[in-house]
Amino acid sequence: MPSERHMRASDRDRDRTAAVLGEHHAAGRLDAAEFGDRLDRAYRAKTIGELEELIADLPPVDLYPLPWGHSGPGPSSH
């Protein structure tokens, strides 16, 4: 059985990687040229492994942070 890295990537996988790259570009970790190059490669990627390589040198990004943040109180229980 092949590892997940060799599994075919879906459009959703490519879109999620593109969103992560966009967050890193906005944070200043990727300049415009590198962002453009990685974005092009993300949309051409055929496998999960190719997508993983594009973000391997970047810290994890939470694309869907909770509105109250990690240190604030949770939602009220009215």
Give the tens place of pLDDT for each residue, 41-50.
999 999 999 9
| Identity at 12, one-letter amino acid code | R
pLDDT confidence of residue 63: 74
> Is 68 domain-assigned?
no
For a pLDDT cut of 90, what percent of the chain falls above it? 72
| pLDDT reading at 65 higher than 90 | no
pLDDT band at 61 (very low <50, low <70, confident <90, very high): confident
Q: Look up the pTM and report it.
A: 0.77
> Is 49 domain-assigned?
yes
CA angle 63, 68, 72 (to 5 degrees): 125
The total number of structural domains that make up the chain: 1
d(Cα 5, Cα 14) in Å, to the nearest integer? 14
> Is 61 domain-assigned?
no
pLDDT confidence of residue 62: 77
> Is 70 domain-assigned?
no
